[in-house]
Structure 1
Amino acid sequence: FAAEQQFWTGRPFPVRLYPSQKRGFTSSIQTILAEKDSDFSREAIKDQKLIRRIRQELLDDDSHFRITATALETFQNCPFHYLLERAVGLCEQVYQPVLLEPREFGELMHRVLQSFYTEIIESEKRLAPSKLELYREMVERCVAAVISSYERCRPVPIKEVFRELGRRAEELAMAHIKVELKQMPAEVILFAEKRLGLLWAEEGICLSGKIDRISRTVSEAQDGYTLVDYKKKNIPAQKKIFGPAPVSFQMPFYLYLM
C-alpha cells in the first residue's frame, strides 16, 4: 500500500518489489494506469449518446433534474464519483455479507420505526411513559413483521443469527423510544418517512427528500416542527451542520423543503 501511494504521488519508487506487487503493477499498467481515451474527471463530456444516457439517469419522468441531499453530498465529496455512480451507473462491487451489512441493518431499523410510528400516528399521535410495556409489544410485532417481509424478499442468514438481529432491532428501537420520551415528551407525531419535494419549473429542477419523521411541539413556550433523522453514530455537531461549510447537507436540505 505504501509503495502504491509513492507511485501515485510521484515520489521515489523502490526498485525492488515483492512478487505480488510486481504482478499487481503489471496488471495495473494495462488497465487502471493506462492512458485513457477520455478522462471525464478533466474533460467535458461531448459524446451525445452518453449525454442522453446520463440525462435518462438524472431526470425524472417529467424531465426535471432531481436533486437529493445524498446526491449533493456525493457531488461535493467527489464529482467524478457522482458521475460514475449516479449518472453512468457504475457502482462499487458489493459482495454478499456473511451476516448483515450495517447499511442493510439500518434500512431494517428504518422500516421497524416507520411501522411503529405509523401505528402511533393512526391512534394517539403522542408517546406516553405509562405505555412503555405496550410499546414493547408493538415493537416486537413490528420487528417480526419486518423480518418476515425481509425473509420473503432476500436470502437470509442462518436462523440463530437472524434471531439475534431481531433481538438487537428490538433493543435499539426501545432505547430510541425511551430517549424520545425523555427528550421530546410534548411532541405530536405527524409523519413517518415523509417524502417532500420542491419544483423549480423554470430551471427544470426538482428537489426531493424523505424525512424519517416529522413532529410538532405545541405549548405555551414553544410552537414549531421537529425533524428527526435516525443516526446510530458519526453525528456531527450543530455548528458543523448549519455553519458556512456544512459537513452534511441533509438537515439544512430538509429544512429548506419544509
Structure 2
Amino acid sequence: MRILLVEDDELLVESTSRALRSQGWVVDATARGEPVPLSLRQDRYDLLILDIGLAGIDGFETLRRVRAQGLDLPVLLLTARDAVEDRVRGLEGGADDYLVKPFALSELIARSRALVRRSQARSGNELRFANLRMDLEARRAFAGEEPLALSVREWDVLAYMLPRAGKVVAKEQIASASNSWDQSVTDNAIEVCISRLRSKLETAGVLVRTVRGFGYLLEEAQVDDEKQPGG
C-alpha cells in the first residue's frame, strides 16, 4: 500500500510515517497542499491522508482540487477542529473519513486499512497491461489465461511497477515498495529479482527495460520488424 501524507507538523509526520511504515506500507510526505493534485496524477497512491490546517491552501481547498480532477482515491482528513460543521464540510467535499487530533496511531492504521480495503473492493482489484493481468485480491498473475508463478518479492515488485508502466522506477523505490525485503536489501538482490521477472513477463508481451543510471521501465513488447514480410 502506498500513502501520500500531507501534514506540516514535522513531529506528527515523523511519528505517523513510522507507524504506517511499521505495517509494511510506503509513505511519501509533503507539508503543502499545492503539489498534491499533480503528485496524485503522476504516481499511483492507495490513500491520501490530508491535514486541514495547512499553510498556503488548506486541506479543504486541496481536497476540492483533488476531486475536481476526478481523482477517486480514498481520503482521510486530519483535523484539530472538533466542530461538527468542519467535519461535515470535509465529508461533503469528498473525504471518506476523518480523525480529530490528537489521535491514537493504532486507530489511524485501522482506519487507513479499512478505507483502502473498501476502495479496492470497489475497483475490482485488477491491474492490466499488455497481455498481463494481476488479481490483487487473489494475489494471482496471468499472461493471457496462463497463470504466472511469482515469488513474494516478484509479486511486490510487479505490483509496484505495473501501475507505473511507461515510467522509470528507481531501485530505491522498488526496495521500499517490497514488504518482503528488509532495510539491508542490496542492488544485486534487486537485479536478480528483475532478471527473473523479465523472463517470466515475456509471454505476457511485457518488457522490463534497464535505464542505466536511473532504474527500470515496464513497456509493451513490439513486434520484431525483421520477422514481418519484407523486413
The TM-score, its normalising length taken from structure 2, stands at 0.22
Q: Which is strand-richer, 1 or 2? A: 2
TM-score of the superposed pair, with normalisation by structure 1: 0.20
> Which one has the largest radius of gyration?
1
The one of the two structures with greater contact order (alpha-carbon pairs below 8 A, sep at least 6) is: 1
